[in-house]
Structure 1
């Protein structure tokens, strides 16, 4: 797995592919989809696929593949090596999605959500395998969002392929477990060679996730926050402005409710701009 291209330019999305086994071009294949690095504070999100002939699906399980989250880094590397040794029937492909790309997508107008970025990556990798000659007949996906909607979306894109989308698919289907391991190994390796554009040098930051114990215990500074008042405990004293509100008269001369406030122009709402008195 050569990640040199991404390590040199970690702000650009990169594809990494194995060789395509000849048997995968001749026999119907299962293909699993999974990701690693969804929601980190550091490093890329990696989407991966793993494929093999339907007749070899159980052999993939015998190679030791499992949900990557249940394995240590050493175990994942060992299983990935076994998968590489069996490259005569196991293939894989990855898209390493840079954090800059994710941020730019979510700040676009209109916004491209992380779910949509994930869906596009999965669809793109499946199409990439098919274009490379893999005879994909079954696709198994670890869900992002409601599985029923995601499955319907994929089935519309690939009407001739059997598509199954389930929660915890990486623990249920060997091909998804294989994709999970490939994606996690790639992310681990990318983090080890991570270079900050500012030139910052950090020796060890853990997994890159917000809850990483290593970086929290060793690097973070303790912070104490004041408790916020509960909603029902806040001061409910009426505003003095209520006593000076303009009264509106109805057509019969009586008082009437004031008209609803005008909506702010979409220029301001789309850019989350508002008036403030202090920063």
Structure 2
């Protein structure tokens, strides 16, 4: 996946660990190998069946490093002006300290605001995009948004208005959500929704602060890397010179990149093609000597001498045939052939 052709505001991020900074509850203290969801309790002043407004935004769609985080924020529809007065703005227009302060504001109002985030691990992003049945980043983003909205409704929130910062064409995306959530009377999917609707701006804050915290406190699953690897990886965007330098310096020629990297990005593939070692699997060496499927069955009157020889060579039941050497990979994995079920 390449996002390098997109126009992206590459914010200079400081991912050094501060001893005094308060971590958001949506971060993680373990290696991020699987995606997870964090959700707050319902607002304490929320009455049963009280109509609510919800906003959705993401952080980290374009970077080659770290998670992509989707955030939602909601409050009573009758209190949306009160929420707007708290001073939310698109997280990309704010300094890091300003974003942290605004998340503190959100967390100081559990009576008014509920929020949740879905943190998508780099490994899950890459595995999704590289699977055989095509599943691109837009589909992943849509499904994550749908999941967060469904979970909010399932928790007992009576959603009546939903505002989403679009991924892809807003018109078709809006129709899709309207079909999935008929009980929501107003759904707006728009470009730059995070700068137009305060409830989306609040969701943007939740997503961005969470992503920054996960990166700042990244725990490498690979042993020993936490003590030796540099964290000077810049903004994480493919076009950032610091990110490019970090990727070049931290690529293992055999094993590739640590799990902080989204290996499905074109940036990684190009780098691996240019600098990594070529790995040949045992099956690659045997691909030209594999028998035809007909060699596994009995000889017919029209069978050629060549096919007969293949059948004899590869048949499990050929009494006089020497056993076929087992591939080294199967030996290493202690796998055995099974003939009886």
TM-score bracket relative to the smaller structure: 0.7 to 0.9
Distance 1:215 1:60, change over 3 A: same
Q: Matched residues in 2 for 1:178 and 1:213: separation?
A: 31
Normalized against structure 2, the TM-score is what?
A: 0.61
Per mean C-alpha deviation after superposition, the further-off stretch among 14-23 and 204-213 is 204-213
Query: What is the correspondence of 1:81-230 to structure 2 with a 5 Å cutoff?
Result: 81-161=104-184, 162-198=186-222, 199-200=224-225, 201-212=229-240, 215=243
RMSD over aligned Cα, in angstroms? Answer: 1.9
Residue 15 (structure 1) aligns with: 37
Q: Does structure 1 conserve the Cα–Cα contact (< 8 Å) formed by 2:31 and 2:221?
A: no
Q: Specify every segment of 5 or more residues in structure 1 that has no aligned partner in the other structure, as ranges.
A: 222-279
Alpha-carbon separation, structure 2, partners of 1:3 and 1:65: 19
Report the TM-score, using the length of structure 1 for normalisation.
Answer: 0.74
* Cα pair 1:21 1:89 within 8 Å, conserved: yes
Any conservation in 1 of the 2:70–2:144 contact (CA below 8 Å)?
Answer: yes
1:208-252 Cα deviation digits (max 9, x unpaired): 22234655689979xxxxxxxxxxxxxxxxxxxxxxxxxxxxxxx
SS in 2 for 1:16: strand
The alignment of Structure 1 onto Structure 2 pairs a total of residues equal to 220
Segments of structure 2 that go 5 or more residues without pairing to the other structure are: 1-23, 250-341
Q: Confirm or deny: 8 A CA contact 1:25 1:133 kept in the other structure.
A: no
Cα distance per residue 1:22-47 (max 9 Å; x no partner)? 33343211000000000211110000
Secondary structure at the counterpart of residue 24 of structure 1: coil
1-side partners of 2:164 and 2:247: how far apart?
36
Change (3 A) 1:154 1:218: closer
The alpha-carbon deviation at position 195 of structure 1 amounts to 2.4
Runs of 4+ in 1 over 4 A off after TM superposition: 213-221
1:56 Cα deviation (Å)?
1.2
